[in-house]
């Protein structure tokens, strides 16, 4: 199944993560911008900035496209304690989305595989839910 991943990256950590993801899956990966309007449903991966804030580009992208975003994930640094990956928590709370995954910096090989598994589980669960309602 083809999945869409939309992402925001500042230092290159999320960029490196999604390129490892793309190499392993062939999924469609698209870097977001403030004015990007999307037509395909997908999943957002962002980074956390400052003291746990949502990046400006991510915030503006979500204001325009939140109806097509299914989950949110974030990169962070565990040295930030409670603010680790907090941008995902904030976006999730604002737009009533599930936090799919948090990973440190650019993520390990294991993190990439866990993310793939979680995306596949998400879609399998929601496909089964649709079948139940048919």
pLDDT digits (tens, 9 = 90+) for 1-45: 689 999 999 999 999 999 999 999 999 999 999 889 999 999 999
Q: Could you tell me the residue ranges of all domains in the chain? A: 4-132
Report the distance separating Cα 48 and Cα 85, nearest Å: 6
On the question of pLDDT at 108 being above 60, the answer is yes
For residue 6, what are the contacts with CB-CB under 8 A and spacing of at least 6? 30, 31, 32, 36, 38, 42, 43, 44, 45, 61, 65, 69
Q: Confirm if 55 and 44 have CB atoms less than 8 A apart.
A: no
Q: Which two tokens stand for residue 28?
A: 């469609």
Domain 4-132 coded CATH 3.40.50.1170: no
Query: Cβ(38)–Cβ(30) under 8 Å?
Result: yes
């Amino acid at each position: 199944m083809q999945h869409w991943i939309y992402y925001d990256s500042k230092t290159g950590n999320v960029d490196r993560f999604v390129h490892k993801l793309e190499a392993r899956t062939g999924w469609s990966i698209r870097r977001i911008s403030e004015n990007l309007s999307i037509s395909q449903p997908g999943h957002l991966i962002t980074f956390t900035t400052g003291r746990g804030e949502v990046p400006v580009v991510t915030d503006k992208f979500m204001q325009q496209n939140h109806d097509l975003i299914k989950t949110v994930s974030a990169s962070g640094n565990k040295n930030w304690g409670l603010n680790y990956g907090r941008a995902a928590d904030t976006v999730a709370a604002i737009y009533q989305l599930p936090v799919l995954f948090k990973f440190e910096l650019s993520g390990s090989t294991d993190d990439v595989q866990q993310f793939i598994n979680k995306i596949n589980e998400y879609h399998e669960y929601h496909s089964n839910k649709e079948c139940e309602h048919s």
